[in-house]
């Protein structure tokens, strides 16, 4: 048994995600994990009955307790505190697309965002939602990142993927490849690098070395490939960053940049578009990855896997990625203000 967390630990709003997916099943063991209790004070934004059902499926004995406010939460071994929105019917099937679950997932994020903006929580950690279910409920957002930016009134955020061996931040994410190339410009590249730099400094890397990928094969190979995008869109940003004392290097050929980072040459790689960054991270294993949104009023982390409808409700989902997401949420949390 672990001791009750001290009041200087950050409070993390842990959203339940899509109730038909594996979110509840990875939340229960993660919140009960002794390591998590030593890192932070998680409060689930979700549904008490669904979490109790998940605990029963897992064969876990615990107290899932509804609280009206974050400040009412009590932290002790075997207890899961839940701000219960009561949006999930008892007969909601596991593993099936549901607009009801999609709407509930939206509401969990909305409440967590309000708590973050009000300063009642110092980080948000999200279980996976299903985009099709979210859209079916009338909430048309590409994903968590864009939804959180909208709800917190944040104009621009960046997605960072973090593993024990590799950290990657994206200049563009959920748009088509041609649109991504058109969107990339020196200001956006510069702001993305600064957000990544600040996040790493906050987590204990005082002078991170940052490598920027090129857009074209071999980073354009001196104009041989592409139409000079690297010189137009990336080089000016690197020059400004270096003049400000940020150790930024690039543009680098993307096919070697990730290898170099994996062996320790770079603390952070800047990917120019979604698949350029996601592919190498997921090769390392989805269970090892954490999705971090930087640029919000608070840090937001998430597991780097989906709702896994095919195994939901079977009690076989792994909670390791959720534990790691909570660890990084605590590590990067904006402050350590006590509850209440």
Coil, strand or helix at 108: helix
CB-based contact 188:232 (threshold 8 Å): no
Please tell me the total count of domains within the chain. 2
Q: In angstroms, rounded to a whole number, what is the distance separating the alpha carbons of residues 91 and 98? A: 12
Residue 46's pLDDT is what?
A: 97
Q: Give burial (CB, 10 Å; 0-12/13-18/19+) of 178.
A: exposed
Query: Is the residue at 142 inside a domain?
Result: yes
Q: In angstroms, rounded to a whole number, what is the distance separating the alpha carbons of residues 171 and 191? A: 9
Q: What's the CATH code of the domain at 33?
A: 3.40.718.10
CB-based contact 107:87 (threshold 8 Å): yes
29: nearest Cα among 320, 328, 329: 320
What is the reported pTM? 0.82
Q: Which domain holds residue 248?
A: 164-284
Same domain, 53 and 11: yes
Residues belonging to the chain: 340
Query: Is the residue at 291 inside a domain?
Result: no
Q: Give, for 113, the enclosing helix (H) or strand (E).
A: helix 99-117
Same domain, 190 and 79: no
CB-based contact 318:31 (threshold 8 Å): no
Q: Which two tokens stand for residue 236?
A: 């000016």
Among candidate residues 284, 313, 329, the one where a domain is terminated: 284
Same domain, 22 and 67: yes
Q: Which residues pair with 270 in a beta bridge?
A: 169, 212
Low-confidence ranges of the chain (pLDDT < 70): 1-7, 285-288, 334-340
Residue 292's pLDDT is what?
A: 87
The torsion angles phi and psi of 12, rounded to 5 degrees, stand at -115, 125
Q: In angstroms, rounded to a whole number, what is the distance separating the alpha carbons of residues 37 and 32? A: 8
Query: Is the residue at 289 inside a domain?
Result: no
Q: In angstroms, rounded to a whole number, what is the distance separating the alpha carbons of residues 92 and 6? A: 37
Q: In angstroms, rounded to a whole number, what is the distance separating the alpha carbons of residues 237 and 255? A: 21
Same domain, 168 and 204: yes
Q: What does the DSSP 8-state code read for residue 189?
A: H
Cα dihedral across residues 51, 16, 136, 316: positive or negative: negative
Residue 339's pLDDT is what?
A: 36
CB-based contact 16:54 (threshold 8 Å): no
Q: Helix axis angle, 144-151 relative to 99-117, nearest 10°?
A: 50
């Amino acid at each position: 048994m672990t001791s009750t967390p001290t009041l200087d630990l950050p409070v993390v709003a842990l959203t339940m995600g899509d109730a038909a997916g594996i979110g509840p099943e990875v939340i229960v063991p993660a919140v009960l994990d002794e390591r998590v209790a030593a890192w932070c004070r998680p409060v689930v934004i979700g549904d008490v009955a669904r979490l109790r059902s998940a605990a029963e499926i897992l064969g876990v004995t615990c107290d899932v307790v509804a609280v009206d406010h974050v400040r009412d939460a009590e932290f002790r071994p075997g207890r899961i505190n839940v701000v219960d929105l009561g949006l999930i019917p008892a007969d909601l099937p596991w593993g099936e697309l549901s607009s009801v679950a999609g709407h509930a997932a939206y509401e969990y994020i909305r409440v967590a965002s309000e708590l973050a903006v009000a300063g009642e929580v110092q980080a948000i950690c999200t279980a996976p939602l299903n985009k099709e279910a979210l859209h079916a409920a009338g909430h048309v957002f590409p994903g968590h990142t864009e939804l959180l930016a909208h709800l917190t009134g944040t104009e621009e955020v960046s997605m960072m993927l973090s593993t024990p061996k590799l950290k990657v931040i994206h200049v563009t994410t959920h748009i088509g490849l041609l649109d991504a190339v058109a969107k990339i410009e020196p200001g956006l590249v510069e702001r993305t690098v600064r957000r990544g730099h600040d996040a790493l400094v906050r987590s204990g890397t005082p002078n991170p070395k940052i490598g920027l990928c090129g857009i074209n094969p071999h980073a354009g190979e001196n104009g041989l490939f592409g139409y000079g995008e690297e010189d137009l869109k990336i080089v000016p940003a690197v020059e400004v960053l270096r003049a400000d004392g940020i150790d930024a290097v690039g543009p680098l050929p993307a096919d070697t940049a990730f290898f170099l980072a994996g062996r320790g040459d770079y603390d952070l790689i800047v990917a120019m578009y979604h698949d350029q960054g996601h592919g190498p991270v997921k090769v390392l294993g989805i269970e090892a990855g954490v999705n971090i949104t930087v640029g919000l009023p608070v840090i937001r982390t998430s597991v780097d896997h989906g709702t896994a409808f095919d195994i939901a409700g079977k009690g076989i989902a792994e909670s390791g990625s959720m534990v790691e997401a909570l660890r990084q949420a605590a590590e990067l949390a904006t402050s350590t203000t006590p509850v209440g």
